[in-house]
């Protein structure tokens, strides 16, 4: 899926906060995209485990781990984009500006990685 198509799909999604339960509502296309990416990452992790079991050269293992981290960052970017464009905007429109502090804390947590 091209980035622009992905952005269009994200714009169709809604996030909501109901009483004490917070949920994110992603389109089926976005869920499928995220699950496909996570399945691929899961396979990469199993691959790294196999590399270690076979005593593969450390630099090669580290290269694979770096690829996994990059793939996880891609998942985070998709989720952050949808969260900002929908959940955060909706809560601000409802007058809940505390969501900005929450979002900034989330960004700081992601940037530490």
- The domain ranges of the chain are 26-111
Q: Which CATH superfamily is domain 26-111 in?
A: Metal-sensitive repressor, helix protomer (1.20.58.1000)
pLDDT by residue, tens only, the chain of 113 residues: 455 455 444 444 445 544 457 777 788 899 999 999 999 999 999 999 999 999 999 999 999 999 999 999 999 999 999 899 989 999 999 999 999 999 999 999 988 86
pTM here is 0.76
DSSP class per residue in the chain:
--HHHHHHHHHT-EEEEETTEEEEE--HHHHHHHHHHHHHHHHHHHHHHHHHHTT--HHHHHHHHHHHHHHHHHHHHHHHHHIIIIIIHHHHHTT-THHHHHHHHHHHHHHT-
């Amino acid at each position: 899926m091209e980035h622009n198509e992905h952005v269009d799909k994200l714009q169709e999604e809604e996030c909501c906060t109901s009483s004490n339960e917070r949920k994110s509502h992603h389109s089926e296309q976005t869920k499928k995209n995220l699950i496909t990416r996570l399945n691929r990452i899961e396979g990469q992790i199993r691959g790294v485990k196999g590399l270690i079991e076979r005593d593969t050269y450390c630099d090669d293992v580290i290269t694979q781990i770096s690829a996994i981290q990059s793939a996880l960052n891609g998942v985070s970017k998709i989720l952050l984009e949808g969260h900002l464009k929908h959940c955060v905007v909706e809560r601000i429109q409802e007058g809940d500006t505390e969501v900005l502090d929450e979002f900034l804390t989330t960004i700081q947590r992601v940037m530490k990685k």
